[in-house]
Amino acid sequence: MLPRTDPFDLPSVSHEITVVLQKGSRLEGRLQFEGTARIDGEFKGEIFTPDILLLGDDAQVSGQIEADVVVISGKFTGDIFATHRVEIQAPAVVKGTIKTAVLQVEEGAVFDGQTKMLGPLPALRQERHSDLGESLKP
């Protein structure tokens, strides 16, 4: 088994956790932030950050995520766009679509869905803008 990657090893990422949704909490809507967020509760909706999103073992999240790095060890259903990487760590269960440059699925974690591996960062930014353009068309 590969060792878990510490998301704080990234030099460009803030180490400060700016958002916490604890176990037993429920939130629905749109969450937009800078820094690092940790979710251990329930969230339904859209999450946007240029930084890190951590979904803990007790997290139950559904919707859309756009982030630099997404680390999941809970349950997620929906679409993920991560410019840097997505890590799915045991005991995670992830169902949906993932677009990222690097995808790591740990032994014991479950990923049921589709993935599109994207190229270097400039290509990722272009891909993201073209995807957004398509979604804005009538």
Does 2 fall in a domain? no
- By three-state DSSP, how is residue 57 classified? coil
> How many helices (DSSP H) and strands (DSSP E) are in the chain?
1, 10
130, amino acid identity: S
107, amino acid identity: E
Does 36 fall in a domain? yes
Specify the pLDDT at position 119.
Answer: 78
pLDDT digits (tens, 9 = 90+) for 83-125: 999 999 999 999 999 999 999 999 999 999 999 998 765 555 5
Contacts of 138 (CB under 8 A, 6+ apart): none
Domain count, the chain: 1
**Could you tell me the CA-to-CA distances from 122 to 12, 56, 118, 127 in Å, in that order?**
16, 30, 10, 9
For the cut 70, the answer to whether the pLDDT of residue 6 exceeds it is: no
Does 21 fall in a domain? yes
Does 43 fall in a domain? yes
127, amino acid identity: E
Specify the pLDDT at position 3.
Answer: 46
Specify the pLDDT at position 126.
Answer: 55
- Whole-number Å distance between alpha carbons of 99 and 115: 6
* pTM of the predicted model as reported, rounded to 2 decimal places: 0.78
Does 121 fall in a domain? yes
Q: 88 is in which domain, residue-wise?
A: 7-136
